Structure 1
Amino acid sequence: MNHEYEKARIAALESLDILDTSPSKQLDELTKAVQEEFNAKTCLVSLVAEDRQWFKSRQCMDATETPRNISFCTYAIAEEEYLIVPDAKADKLFANNPLVTGSPFIRAYAGAILRNKDGYELGTLCLLFDEPRDFLDVEIESLKNHARTVETIIFSEHLPA
Structure 2
Amino acid sequence: MAEFPVLYNEEDRLRAVEQCGLLDTPDDPRFDRITRLAAYLTDAPIALVSLVATHRQWFKSRHGLATTETPRDMAFCNFALVEPTIFVVEDATQDERFRANPLVTGGPGIRFYAGMALTGLGGHRLGTLCVIDTIPRRLEPVQRRLFGDLAACASDVLRMVELELSSTTRQ
TM range (shorter): over 0.9
Specify the alignment match of 1:133 in structure 2. 137
Aligned length: 160
Of 98, 102, 111 in structure 2, the residue corresponding to residue 107 of structure 1 is 111
Q: Does residue 98 of structure 2 align to residue 97 of structure 1?
A: no
Q: CA deviation at 1:137?
A: 2.5
Amino acid at match of 2:84: E
Asked whether the equivalents of residues 28 and 58 of structure 1 are also in contact (C-alpha less than 8 Å), the reply is yes
Amino acid at match of 1:35: A
Amino acid at match of 1:136: E
Specify the alignment match of 1:20 in structure 2. 24
CA offsets 1:131-160 (integer angstroms, 9 cap, x no match): 111122221111111011111112222227
The CA distance in 2 between the partners of 1:93 and 1:126, in whole Å, is 17
The CA distance in 2 between the partners of 1:19 and 1:97, in whole Å, is 24
Deviates more, 1:27-36 or 1:56-65: 27-36
Asked whether the equivalents of residues 24 and 58 of structure 2 are also in contact (C-alpha less than 8 Å), the reply is yes
The CA distance in 2 between the partners of 1:158 and 1:132, in whole Å, is 35
Of 81, 84, 88 in structure 1, the residue corresponding to residue 88 of structure 2 is 84
Q: Does residue 72 of structure 2 align to residue 56 of structure 1?
A: no
Which sections of structure 1, spanning at least 5 residues, go unmatched? none
Specify the alignment match of 2:153 in structure 1. 149
Q: CA deviation at 1:104?
A: 0.5
**Runs of 4+ more than 6 Å apart:** none
Q: CA deviation at 1:30?
A: 1.9
Specify the alignment match of 1:30 in structure 2. 34
Percent sequence identity over matched residues? 38
Which sections of structure 2, spanning at least 5 residues, go unmatched? 1-5, 167-171
